[in-house]
Structure 1
Amino acid sequence: MDRIERSEEQIAHLTRMVDDLSEIVTRQTREIERLSRRVGLLMEREAEREAEGGTLPLADQRPPHW
């Protein structure tokens, strides 16, 4: 194999790798955006819950035997 063929093969591999990485970044960006929306909704829900009652959630309360 001469230098040109090796270079062409290497370029093909690198091009494929860049395409694969681009797909991964795109997928991760969508996942981050989805999770950010969910966290925002949870934060709003918790803020509303605190504004309404101001009581501790059951999971944060001490058990009666303490």
Structure 2
Amino acid sequence: MEKLEEQIAHLDRTVDDLSTIVARQQDEIDRLTRHVAMLMRREAERDADGSGGVVVGDERPPHY
């Protein structure tokens, strides 16, 4: 019986540790999602203004 209680205590601690890790990862994902959304808005504004200037893929620059 004592061995089962030790295993349960160990499993409880592991679950608590994993829960903390998952919560921290979710906070990081939320922060990165907001950051990407901000960067996408900024790039969309730059494209709308025509000041992008970034060549993508096989696209030729305007001086060709």
TM bucket normalised to smaller: 0.7 to 0.9
TM-score normalized by the length of structure 2: 0.81
Report % sequence identity: 60
TM-score normalized by the length of structure 1: 0.79
1:5 match: 2
Matches within 5 A, 1:31-50: 31-50=28-47
Aligned length: 57
Q: Which structure has the larger Rg over C-alpha atoms? A: 1
Matches within 5 A, 1:21-60: 21-53=18-50, 55-57=52-54, 60=55
**What are the Cα deviations for residues 11-62 of structure 1, in whole angstroms up to 9, with x where unaligned?**
00000000000000000000000000000000000000000015423xx388
**RMSD, aligned CA:** 1.6
Identify unmatched segments of 5+ residues in structure 2: none
- Give every structure 1 segment of 4 or more consecutive aligned residues whose post-TM-superposition deviation is greater than 4 Å: none
